[in-house]
């Protein structure tokens, strides 16, 4: 990417920060973010291994996108709400979602927040301002706008951040959400992770526009492009968008330029539709490596600290997996709950028939 392309950048090649857009993060804040970025990647690797072993059914990773995901969430306030896609578990953990509860979701146990009703990586945590994840592409966009609009009506100081990929810009929800937010000046930050691929569909087949950010103009919404592999630039850009929203000036569309270094999910083989040579140039801009180099230059991090962090994450993860694998699945009758305050007669009848019927053998026995 050339330096004059309008993309916001902060971390320079010499590991200094551009003072024009420097978000002013303290050393402690950068260390906090770096630890969570590393934790996210380590968990990605271990969850893929569990899926390959047949112990969990699915995982959506964030390899190469950690700066975009965690930097955006970090820039939001505790009282704001985030509406995720399905790739942002690292940001949820950073906001306070417990690792153990997340692992329960991966195994679909009785302690899963969605009670085993969704596939892995589809969880919710209202306590940390995290909306429920759903698989249909783009649906979280209108949900984020509606939530922020409701808060605005109630005069609550709440903004929303919604994550989505470049593929979701082709959905009707993108148009509906952007149009409504623009008209009513809703404090929503539309955070598009332009990671190059919508599963196997490249960006060139997704839009004829030069950028995704420029799409905001059609809705009266400013669009900003940011280096999604530059943690400092992401934090600075989202903070500016948040400030704009809470002051009543409405939404902002952010296009974070990054790259999906792995497959779309554990069900995907990216080697079938893209060559490996493109990964080399993006690997040199690995967001985690860039932050580590910055910290090492400032003598805030070293190999020993890295080893301690890896051991810490491994121990916590192994313990969480051990607990989840000992935890039974949700009771069958729970599938009839959480929909009606008072279940109608026909559901009560079906529940009784279910509980009285035969049982299939457990796949884990």
273 is catalytic: yes
Q: Is 73 helix (H, G, I), strand (E, B) or coil?
A: helix
342 is catalytic: no
Q: Are 234 and 255 in contact (CB under 8 A)?
A: no
Which of the residues 9, 260, 290, 292 is marked catalytic?
A: 260
Which of the residues 36, 87, 264, 290 is marked catalytic?
A: 264
Could you give phi then psi for residue 262, rounded to 5 degrees?
-110, -165
CA distance from start to end of the chain: 53
Helix residue ranges per DSSP H, the chain: 27-52, 66-75, 89-94, 99-107, 139-153, 172-184, 231-246, 277-283, 287-297, 303-326, 345-356
32 is catalytic: no
Q: Are 189 and 252 in contact (CB under 8 A)?
A: yes
- CA-derived radius of gyration, the chain: 21
Which of the residues 273, 298, 308, 318 is marked catalytic?
A: 273
Q: Which residues make Cβ contacts (< 8 Å) with residue 313, sequence separation at least 6?
A: 38, 39, 42, 43
Could you give the residue numbers annotated as active site?
Answer: 260, 264, 273
């Amino acid at each position: 990417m050339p330096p004059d392309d309008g993309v916001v950048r902060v971390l320079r090649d010499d590991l200094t920060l551009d003072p024009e857009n420097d978000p002013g993060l303290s050393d402690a804040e950068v260390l906090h973010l770096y630890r969570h970025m590393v934790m996210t990647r380590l968990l990605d690797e271990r969850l893929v291994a569990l899926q390959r072993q047949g112990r969990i059914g699915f995982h959506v990773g964030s390899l190469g996108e950690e700066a975009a995901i965690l930097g955006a969430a970090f820039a939001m306030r505790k009282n704001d709400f985030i509406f995720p896609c399905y790739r942002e578990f690292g940001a949820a953990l950073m906001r306070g979602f417990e690792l153990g509860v997340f692992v329960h979701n991966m195994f679909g146990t009785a302690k899963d927040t969605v009670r085993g009703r969704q596939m892995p990586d589809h969880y919710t945590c209202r306590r940390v301002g995290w909306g429920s994840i759903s698989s249909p592409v783009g649906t979280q966009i209108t949900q984020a706008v509606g939530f922020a609009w409701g808060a605005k009506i109630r005069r609550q100081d709440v903004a929303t951040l919604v994550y989505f990929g470049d593929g979701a810009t082709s959905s009707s929800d993108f148009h509906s959400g952007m149009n409504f937010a623009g008209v009513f000046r809703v404090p929503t930050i539309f955070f598009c992770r332009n990671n190059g691929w919508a599963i196997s569909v490249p960006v060139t087949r997704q839009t004829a526009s030069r950028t995704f950010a420029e799409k905001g103009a059609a809705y009266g919404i400013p669009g900003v492009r940011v280096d999604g592999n530059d943690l400092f630039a992401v934090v600075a850009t989202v903070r500016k968008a948040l400030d704009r929203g809470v002051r009543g000036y409405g939404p902002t569309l952010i296009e974070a330029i990054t790259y999906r270094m792995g497959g779309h999910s554990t069900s995907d083989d990216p080697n079938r539709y893209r060559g490996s040579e493109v990964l080399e140039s993006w690997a040199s801009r690995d967001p985690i490596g860039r932050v580590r180099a910055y910290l090492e230059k400032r003598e805030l991090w070293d190999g020993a600290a890295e080893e301690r962090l890896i051991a810490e994450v491994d121990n916590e993860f192994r313990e969480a997996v051990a607990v989840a694998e000992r935890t039974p699945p949700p009771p069958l009758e729970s599938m009839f709950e959480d929909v009606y305050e008072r279940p109608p007669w026909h559901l009560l009848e079906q529940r009784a028939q279910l509980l009285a019927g035969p049982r299939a053998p457990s796949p884990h026995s």
